[in-house]
Amino acid sequence: MHQQPGRLFAPGRRMKIRATLPPHERDLRLDLFRGLANWLIFFGHIPHSLLAWLTLRNYGFSDGADLFVFISGYTATLVYARMMIERGFVIGATRLWKRVWQIYVAQLLLFLFYTASIHYAAHDFDLPQLMDEFNVHHLMDHPAEVLVHAITLRFKPVNLDVLPLYIVLMALFPFVLWLMLRQPDATMVASLALYLAARHYHWDLASYPTGVWYFDPFTWQLLFMLGAWLALGGHIRLSRVAHARWSPLLAIAFLIFALAMTLSEHIGALQLLFPDALRAVFIPNDKTYLAPYRVAHLAAIIVLVVHFIPRDWRGLEWPVFAPLIKCGQHSLEVFCVGVYLSFVAHFILISVPDSAPMQLAVGAAGLSIMVAVAWYRGWSKDVERPVPRIPGSPLAKAAIPPPPWQPLSERRRRRRELADRLKQQRAHDRRA
């Protein structure tokens, strides 16, 4: 097993690393499927529409939220594990908490715009049912109390449950990552034990005014931790299983079973295939406490992705996947915009004559806005990068980012060229 020395809390102290560090190169598959998760979540948040049938939850046990949490754990480990080793726990932890603060601010801003828009639509367009439908009627009766509980993440309108879960998991992740770098397998076993105990005893956090969190952090942490463990060498331990000849066949068989079981809720003929006792195990789908079959369903999808979409698959550079990849690379902004647009889409669909073409048009418009936001964020970050000091030089001209509509491979090539030229310029400055 790969070992590499690293710093613990101070430069003079060392920690023994028993995890396998992830490579530096970016895995576009993560961006692709995180972008897909954002699209699925957007569609799933538009109720009573054809768009909701475009989501994974109608054809299996897991959905976009499972995929989002799993990939978030994987990518957080890719970003912060090496930083914690090379620069110490304090630097790694504070950078993680800086990201937590960004997510928290995003949640509060989303809450503000979301609830204000619902209130405006409900009162100015005489749609009072929206206040109950999106669980914001308490805001009218007890505004100060509701705002306090919103700040502490106890009060969450409908569809604003994912980011609070993400905030809690990321806030505790510095300590978990420190343990996982030292004892990855033992930490994963502890995560599994916590999951089983939380499911058995129904541990959860309290919500306001009643109830518990829709995404129980004590159980949903398993997907986040699974992503982290796979990023730190777990994929090597499971490689023989994941690449066995029988594993894709087993995964496909389970996905077919999940498809038939899920559709049996809506198709009476499929109910005849399963005994009532068996259907009672899977229906209703236990999302709050992350039922084991949801984890198994996601694992089956991962197995198929590993088998049929290798890391260096050239299809990842096809233009058709560029919007999904770009949305995955700017996931927080796209997620927030998608949640807000899901309400706007629902409001439009209940305000105009409903039809399948109208639903598809609204969905396409929402996706277009999400992709535009992702392109803008990517372009904006490129513009904000430091430009060489020599005005008018070829190096300075090369630093100007290409338009976001250029092919992904072309942008990547220009970034590599710019990085090489910047290194040469710095070396020349040092010699001078």
pLDDT tens-digit readout, 40-51: 999 999 988 999
Given a contact cutoff of 8 angstroms between Cβ atoms, the answer to whether 84 and 181 are in contact is yes
Confidence class of residue 1 from pLDDT cuts 50, 70 and 90? very low
Distance (Å) of CA 330 to CA 8, 49, 75: 31, 27, 12
What is the per-residue pLDDT for 10? 44
Looking at per-residue pLDDT, the higher value among 385 and 79 belongs to 79
Confidence (pTM): 0.86
| Contact call for residues 219 and 193 (beta carbons, < 8 A) | no
* More confident site: 293 or 419: 293
Do 251 and 300 touch, CB atoms closer than 8 A? yes
* Measured CA angle at 423 (ends 418, 429), to 5 deg: 125
CA nearest neighbour of 363 among 30, 51, 41, 65 = 51
pLDDT at 390 exceeding the cut of 80: no
- Whether the per-residue pLDDT at 242 is higher than 60: the answer is yes
In sequence order, the 6+-apart residues with CB closer than 8 A to the CB of 246 are: none
Query: Are the beta carbons of 300 and 254 closer than 8 angstroms?
Result: yes
> Are 114 and 339 a contacting pair, CB within 8 Å?
yes
pLDDT above 50: residue 2? no
Across 127-131, 194-198, 351-355, least confident range = 351-355
pLDDT higher at 391 or 84: 84
